[in-house]
Amino acid sequence: MLRTEDLCKVFHTARGKPVAAVKNATFSVSAGEIFGILGPNGAGKTTLLRMLGTIITPTSGHCWINGMRTDESPDQIRSEIGFLSGNTKLYGRLNPAELLRYFGRLYGMPNPLIAERTDALKDLLGMQEFMDRRCESLSTGQTQKVSIARVMMHDPKVLILDEPTLGLDILTSRTILEFILDAKKRGHSIVFSTHYMTEAQLLCDRIGLIHQGELLAVGTKQELYERTGTESIQEAFLTLIGRHGAGAA
């Protein structure tokens, strides 16, 4: 479903100095799998996911989604994925119904299908109460539900979700996480980034630990525990960071 090979992204500062935000990221995600990208703030999670979502182009390396290379068919790939990040906010002056209709049209969906999907998502995410309220007046939790609905509007097979539960209360977080698990059961491939270790432990089939732009390790929870000799994701992550720091020194 999704595969990356030596994906790198280098930004230039205002003075032209190159800064590598992601270095040689290689991993793959199969159908019906949740792949977690775990790392602290500033580790390069968002940059990596932005490259997968074709929002930015890699400096080197490649990414394939549904057999297509992201740098060759970005428009086609975007029609087959759902991308959500902290930077994908909603149009405040539209209400959720208008917003979903707008995105449905951008995904080339016919009007009857848009209406059908809107009804289904409204029920699934419990959005009935605020469908006709402008997005600018919604709470954080309600906004995130609309964002999830926006991403799922065209029922994409690949979901790229960047910290979807960030800043949410427990109840809304649970709704979102249940929704992600449900999507996995329906065969969707999900790339999911978070810095909440417990979430990663609970949801992900495989995890990639990222630090300072580098994927330190990729594997199932069990594989990571065995490799680091630890018993939790948090400990595994700290051990890997320690080894990485020692290696760099």
Partner 1 sequence: MKPRIVYTILGKELLDTLRDKRTLLMMVGVPLLLYPALLILGLQAMLVQQSTLERSVSRVAVIANDPLLLEGWLRPSPKDVMKEVLRSPKPPMDAAMDAIRIEIVDTKDPDAELIAGHIDAVIAVRGDAQALLDQNASVPIDIRFDSTEFRSREAASRVREALSEARDRLQLQRLKREELPEAFLRPLEVHEKDIAPPVKRTGFLLGLLLPMLMILTIALGAFYPAVDLTAGEKERGTFETLLSTPASKLEIVAGKFLTVFLLAMATGLLNLISMAASFFFMMSQVSSAAPNKAFLDIQVPFQAFPIILAAIVPLAFFISAMMMSVAVFARSFKEAQNYLTPFFMIILVPAMIAGFPAVQLGPLTRFVPIANVILLFRGLMTGTLGAEAIFAVFLSTILYAALALLAAGWLFQREEVVLSEERGIPLTIRRSDIRPRDGLTPSWALAFFSVMIILLFYLGGLAQHWNALGGLLITEWGIILCPTLLLLWFVRIRFRPALLLQRPSWKFVAGALLMAGGGMLLTLQLSAWQNKVLPLPEGFEETFERLFSSSGTGLGFAVLFFVLAVSPAVCEEILFRGAILSGLRQRLNPWVCMAVVGVLFGLFHLSLYRVVPTGMIGVMLTYMALRSGSIFPSMAAHCLFNTVAILAASERLPRTLLEPLAHLDKEGLPWFLALGALLALGLGVALIEHTARRRQATAG
Q: Which residues bind partner 1 (CB under 8 A)?
A: 11-14, 16, 53, 55-57, 75-76, 78-79, 83-94, 98, 102-103, 105-108, 150
Nearest approach in angstroms of CB 103 to partner 1 is 6
- Shortest distance in whole angstroms from residue 151 CB to partner 1: 8
Q: Which is nearer to partner 1, 28 or 73 (CB)?
A: 73
CA distance linking residue 51 with residue 85, whole number of Å: 12
Task: Give the C-alpha separation, 180 to 109, whole Å.
Answer: 23
In the bound state with partner 1, the residue whose beta carbon lies nearer, of 90 and 217, is: 90
Distances (CA, A) of 246 to 127, 231, 237, 239: 49, 22, 14, 11
Shortest distance (Å) from residue 242 CB to partner 1 = 31
Angle at CA 123, nearest 5°, toward 151 and 84? 15
Nearer to partner 1, 29 or 160 (CB): 160
User: In the bound complex, what is the minimum distance in angstroms from residue 209's beta carbon to partner 1?
Assistant: 25
CA distance 46 to 233: 20
Closer to partner 1 by Cβ: residue 161 or 224: 161
How many CA atoms lie less than 13 Å away from 116 in the CB half-sphere?
A: 7
